[in-house]
Structure 1
């Protein structure tokens, strides 16, 4: 009797599951567009995997989906489902990994490339860039510079002449810790970073709560928050190479 009840129960559960609609594939999001069709496919537009994308001569459309960043160029009809590429989930996981500042050596990231250097983690604060900066965790903040040679001192203030804190990079270091005890960060907080022989840059912090767990949702959030520099880092790192 017990076996019969379990069997009937399992059969009913299976039948109910079969009636549920299948989970739709995640949509891609436009992260860059240029050319005649840019108005049709503005940054932030969602595109389903089987949606037809019609481009004209001179068009370039960059779409970020679950497979990575897709760059479509020139006249033609495209769908994301037919654009093959290597899985970029590991790249996304590394780029968005959150690690404790106390467990992070400031010299752990080295400039070993001969080409342009970009921050290896989306949540590092680039000392060169102004504008909105999205954070996953405002209690673990690190400044990043794109070089390792020489010592550099930066002033962090609430205005051009109101210094709240200082941050020092040692020779060989690309990372240093932001002193939250002197310059606390909340959603909407604004700070000016000056030093390193560069112009002062004002940053407005946006704290993400919750933090999107997939690339296309995070891209859409970065667009909504105006964190365009981080969007560029994300889309560049997620470029899908052909399989």
Structure 2
């Protein structure tokens, strides 16, 4: 996914203030957020080369995500897009690992002394508290997730056809299986999730990915294309 080191191409890119769209084999970074006077030049989803130089103005901030993680670029001047450092492969692998239904479940921390919100340990878990579009890479292994592990609550899931099912969490567990036999997950279908601590009910629309990208930049691009903003935020923060 890295640019071929070629002096003529490198020189041309170094002189450019706005990124050129490159062939997919050369892509290394994806813009996941931008603000400031030049934000229009760096929309979310724009793809940049890791060795490329971009020119920013005072007040500009561009956040890019690549194999070396998430990087926030800010301040007037010329900046190299790619972060220098080891790729965060282990963090990415843990965050995107597919879990089978027979896996051992673990509970979340019972409260955070810093006051920081508890986040999902896996990007494919469906957060019962978060509405929006939810991308899934495996429609045969869908999991619901809750932020805290106290109690054994039951949540009701319904669809547009007025069908519904009840899904229970075990004491000490933050995840539970979606009953696919009772309610299959379909691409583009919307579901409501109601239960303790959710007011109003959560609305989730599933977007099934054709394949699961094996690197951060391609996954970020796929999430952006499908409108899965919650997962994009999770991916960006986990690789910061």
Question: Which residue is 1:44 aligned to?
Answer: 45
Question: Which residue is 2:183 aligned to?
Answer: 183
Q: Match of 2:31, SS?
A: strand
Measured against aligned partners, the alpha-carbon deviations of 1:124-162 in whole angstroms (never above 9, x if no partner) come to 000011111000101101100111112222100014x93
Please report how far the alpha carbon of residue 121 of structure 1 lies from its aligned counterpart in structure 2 after TM superposition.
0.3
Question: Which residue is 2:235 aligned to?
Answer: 234
Q: Match of 1:211, SS?
A: coil
Please report how far the alpha carbon of residue 220 of structure 1 lies from its aligned counterpart in structure 2 after TM superposition.
0.3
Supply the distance in 2 between the matched residues of 1:169 and 1:99 (Cα, whole angstroms): 17
Please report how far the alpha carbon of residue 177 of structure 1 lies from its aligned counterpart in structure 2 after TM superposition.
1.0
Question: Which residue is 2:58 aligned to?
Answer: 57
Question: Which residue is 2:73 aligned to?
Answer: 72
TM-score scaled by length of structure 1: 0.82
User: What is the RMSD computed on CA atoms of the aligned residues?
Assistant: 1.8
**Is this contact kept in 2: 1:148–1:174, CA < 8 A?**
yes
Structure 2 unmatched ranges of 5 or more: 1-23
Structure 1 unmatched ranges of 5 or more: 1-22
Point out the structure with max Rg over C-alpha: 1
Please report how far the alpha carbon of residue 163 of structure 1 lies from its aligned counterpart in structure 2 after TM superposition.
4.6
4+ residue stretches of structure 1 with deviation over 4 A? none
**Is this contact kept in 2: 1:124–1:143, CA < 8 A?**
yes
Tell me: CA distance 1:143–1:41, structure 2 relative to 1, closer, same or farther (3 Å). Answer: same
Supply the distance in 1 between the matched residues of 2:52 and 2:220 (Cα, whole angstroms): 19
TM-score scaled by length of structure 2: 0.83
Q: Match of 2:231, SS?
A: helix
Supply the distance in 2 between the matched residues of 1:74 and 1:147 (Cα, whole angstroms): 39
Q: Match of 2:185, SS?
A: coil
Count of aligned pairs: 213
- Is 1:104 matched with 2:103? yes
**Is this contact kept in 1: 2:108–2:147, CA < 8 A?**
no
Measured against aligned partners, the alpha-carbon deviations of 1:189-226 in whole angstroms (never above 9, x if no partner) come to 21111112312111111111122111101100000000
Greater relative contact order, per chain length (Cα 8 Å cut-off, separation 6+)? 1
Please report how far the alpha carbon of residue 105 of structure 1 lies from its aligned counterpart in structure 2 after TM superposition.
3.0
Measured against aligned partners, the alpha-carbon deviations of 1:12-58 in whole angstroms (never above 9, x if no partner) come to xxxxxxxxxxx965320000111111111000000112222111222
Q: Match of 1:91, SS?
A: helix
Moved more, 27-36 or 51-60: 51-60
